[in-house]
Amino acid sequence: QQQQQQQQQQHCLEAFIFYKMAVGIFFSALLLLAGVAAVLDVAYPSTMWQRTPSARMQQSGRNGYFCVDNRCVCYVFVYLTVDCSYTRLKYIPALPANVSELLFNGNELRSEMLTENFFVNASTIRVLDISFNNLTYIPRGVFSPIPNLGWLFINENHITYDDIARLLSLPSLRNLSAFGCDLGPLPSDVFGNIDSNIEGLSLSTNRINPLNLTELLPLKHLKIVYLCQNGFDTLVIDNPIGLVELHVSSNALNSFPSTCMNGTSLFPKLKRLFLSSNGMKELDSHNICLPEVEYLDLGENSVAIIGEGMFSDENFPSLKYLHFQNNMGSFYLNKNKFSNTKLTVLLLDNDNIQFGDVIRVSSDAFANCTSLTWLSLDGNSFEDVDGERFHQLLGHLPLTYLSMKRCQMSSIFEDTFVQLSGLIMLDLSKNRITNIPDRAFDLHPHLTDLSLSQNTISVVRETTFSESTRTQFAKLLLGYNPFVCSCDLLWFRAWLASNRSLFYEFEFLDPPQYNCSNIPGKMVENFTMVQQACLLSQEASIQVTVILSLTFFVFTVASLLFRYRWHLRLILYEAFRGKSNIRQQHLMAGNFTYDVFVSYASEDLPWVREHLMPELEDRLGLRLCVHERDFIPGNNIVDNIVECVQSSKKILMVFSKDFVRSQWCQFELTYSMNHVMDYDDALILVCVDDVVSRDMTAA
How far CA 240 is from CA of 174, 211, 259, 307, 313, in Å, comes to: 22, 15, 9, 25, 21
pTM of the model: 0.72
Q: Are 96 and 78 in contact (CB under 8 A)?
A: no
pLDDT at 603: 86
Identify residue 531 by its one-letter amino acid code.
Answer: Q
Res 590: pLDDT: 65
Which CATH code is given to the segment(s) 592-695?
3.40.50.10140
Domain boundaries, given as residue ranges, for the chain: 538-571, 592-695
pLDDT computed for residue 412 by the predictor: 94
Q: Per residue in 507-532, pLDDT tens? A: 666 677 899 999 999 999 999 888 77
The region of weakest confidence among 42-51, 429-438, 501-510, 625-634 is: 42-51
**Residue 385 contacts residue 356 (beta carbons within 8 Å):** yes
Q: Of residues 603 and 300, which shows the higher confidence score?
A: 300
Q: Please state, in angstroms and rounded to a whole number, the distance separating the CA atoms of residues 161 and 190.
A: 7
Average confidence (pLDDT) over 641-666:
83
Which of 20-34, 135-149, 165-179 has the lowest average pLDDT? 20-34
Question: What does the pLDDT read at residue 427?
Answer: 97
Question: Contact 188/214 with Cβ under 8 angstroms?
Answer: no
55-77 pLDDT, tens digit each: 444 545 557 899 998 999 999 87
SS3 per-residue string spanning 18-74:
CHHHHHHHHHHHHHHHCCCCCCCCCCCCHHHHCCCHHHHHHHHHHCCEEECCCCEEE
Over the stretch 320-350, which tens digit does the pLDDT of each residue have? 999 999 999 888 999 989 999 999 999 999 9
Q: 667 or 414: whose pLDDT is higher? A: 414
For residue 663, count CB atoms less than 10 angstroms from its CB and return exposed for 0-12, middle for 13-18, buried for 19 or more.
Answer: exposed
At a CB cut-off of 8 Å and minimum separation 6, what does 434 contact? 410, 411, 455, 456, 457, 458
Residue 76's beta-bridge partner residues?
80
Contact 421, 397 (CB under 8 A): no
Quote the pLDDT of residue 567. Answer: 82
Residue 49 has pLDDT above 90, yes or no: no
pLDDT of residue 586: 67
pLDDT of residue 593: 84
267-314 per-position pLDDT tens digit: 999 999 999 999 999 998 899 999 999 999 999 999 999 999 999 999
**Cis before 210 (ω within 30):** yes
Is residue 578 pLDDT above 80, yes or no? no
Q: How far is CA 74 from the centre of its chain?
A: 45
Q: Are 280 and 256 in contact (CB under 8 A)?
A: yes
- Is residue 474 within 8 A of residue 448, CB to CB? The reply is yes
The helices-and-strands tally (H runs, E runs) of the chain is 18, 29
Is residue 649 pLDDT above 60, yes or no? yes
Phi and psi at 31, nearest 5°, equal: -65, -35
Phi, psi of 653 (to 5 degrees): -105, 125
Where does the pLDDT of residue 695 fall: very low under 50, low under 70, confident under 90, or very high at 90 and above?
low
Spatial CA neighbour of 280 closest among 247, 257, 302, 248: 302
Q: How far apart are CA 275 and CA 288, in angstroms?
A: 14
* pLDDT, greater one: 633 or 269: 269
The DSSP call for residue 539 is H
Q: How far is the C-alpha of 247 from the C-alpha of 12, rounded, in Å? A: 8
Distance CA 176, CA 648 (A): 125
Q: What is the mean pLDDT of the chain?
A: 86
Q: Which tops the pLDDT comparison, 445 or 699?
A: 445
The gap between the terminal CA atoms of the chain, to the nearest Å, is 103
Confidence of residue 581 (pLDDT cuts 50, 70, 90): low
pLDDT at 392 over 90: yes
Strand ranges inside 571-670, DSSP E: 594-599, 624-625, 648-655
Residues 6+ apart with CB under 8 A from 554: none
* Radius of gyration (C-alpha) of the chain in whole angstroms: 48
CA angle 50, 51, 56 (to 5 degrees): 145
pLDDT at 568: 84
Q: pLDDT higher for 578 or 263?
A: 263
Once rounded to an integer, what is the mean pLDDT over residues 221-233? 96
Q: Looking at the DSSP assignment, which residues form a beta bridge with residue 425?
A: 401, 449
Work out the pLDDT band at 647, boundaries 50, 70, 90: confident
- What's the angle, vertex CA 448, arms to CA 443 and CA 449, rounded to 5? 110
What pLDDT, on a 0 to 100 scale, did the predictor assign at position 597? 85
On the question of pLDDT at 48 being above 70, the answer is: no
CB 211 within 8 A of CB 232: yes
Summarised one tens digit per residue, pLDDT across range 528-566 is: 888 777 776 667 778 888 999 999 999 999 999 888 887
What's the farthest any 2 CA atoms get from each other in the chain? Answer: 161
Vertex 299, ends 297 and 300: CA angle to 5°? 150
- Residue among 532, 19, 680 at smallest CA distance from 11: 19
In this prediction, residue 45 carries a pLDDT of: 36
Find the mean pLDDT for residues 483-494: 92
